[in-house]
Structure 1
């Protein structure tokens, strides 16, 4: 997980959460006048704090149990889902272990390998970040073990395989871990682990231009990416993408900005996170653009959007500031494709 503009592992304890930073001025061709009330229906003073983030809304019931490896002989009428529930590993783990693909046809007498491991049954509203915190593990490792993919929305009743060193933490330890995580969160954690679990046949919430109340359910990702990015603001580049010093790596760029400079959405998409709960970044906004693309805007002094809000390229989403662990006003800007940090300067138009 990242810290400030670097990939800093500030505290030892694997769980998940996020990162970011950039400079301020208006994007080319954008007016610098403040947005109207209709442009910014939701305005959050990030210095004053916000409501609980989605990953903290629902306490996780630590129900993980160990399942020993075995072989299961298919009987007439068996389904992969039923076998997954009976064995305790879930249909996803069975499919992955046995190289099965949809429509998951099974035949009497066929033998399935049941993979040994520690499995957690996902409950209503639980998030990946919350589950990882409850067991003191890293969410990114859970993603890898379970081969999870976009849109990273968990389903109620789904079994997640946990790392072998996972252990259910007592409530007091979970509280401490959650506070510590705020310093270790990475943008990837929020983008992939903050969606509340859905019931099997329910659908995620469709983003709207002006939500009337906080969106605390899973949000549908955009159908596709528009194809290009624009500058969120202009200014002197303070830090480029890549290695900065021994042990320090920037996952984005930092752009100098005057306090209050409008920050513009680099492309159309859906706001996946907007708040100041991640101390390293202060005011942080994440936008899901679809097709695996996510942009991040950190150190904002003001946030003018909320989770679950749809935005268009160039919309004002906040104002530059010096929130988080920086001394001067600036914007930390990141682009990620399929969880991998991408150099923004290679995606933004030349200037």
Structure 2
């Protein structure tokens, strides 16, 4: 074999090896794409915008995005009664450099539930030992020194519910199917199982600020505003019995239980404080 033929065979082998090891690039299939937004999705990132569709309300848009309606109104220069129009573009975050609204100010200390007979932020106190008293003379047990370079973590106190000052009622009779799970997008409330046609009642006095089926995943939905900070939501109804603007009383029937947007007859119930879901079981009476 000549030297030229030898070089030719080596070149042919190198080309064949490169063809075998080339990387195949494919377009992502439908299953590879991220799922669509689901109920309870965390607040949108900075710069997000919502385009108003026919039937939308500012309360519905804020609820869908986990925001306080007062924040959305302030970011877009909208005053009460929060009228919006189809095609309108709404900011879902403050402008860069804008001051935070009172409900989202960083470092703010939330109000907490206070037990009867105690003052907010206080607890049982231990009398200070006086000089010369037996307590001050008793030697304290010494702790073993911490390992150099490490600091023992401080225990985290359990979170307490924010005081609502409402006499909440159960919105429906039935078995508890699912409970609230913080941070879980599909578990931002509780699910109460029941029979189709069972009454759904307002959990507290308020005014209806949303009555429709435009929020994906909630079916026929009603949202009741109790004050500027507190809302309650009632989803998967078979029929809605109240319209937006209606004033309702605690215990008043506002809907009929169904399964719109759900695998079975149930009521999905949420309580939100400043637009953020809280655990309804911390507020509903035991039964």
- Considering only CA atoms, is the larger Rg found in Structure 1 or Structure 2? 2
The structure showing larger relative contact order (alpha-carbon pairs under 8 Å, at least 6 residues apart) is 1
TM-score (norm 1): 0.41
TM-score (norm 2): 0.50
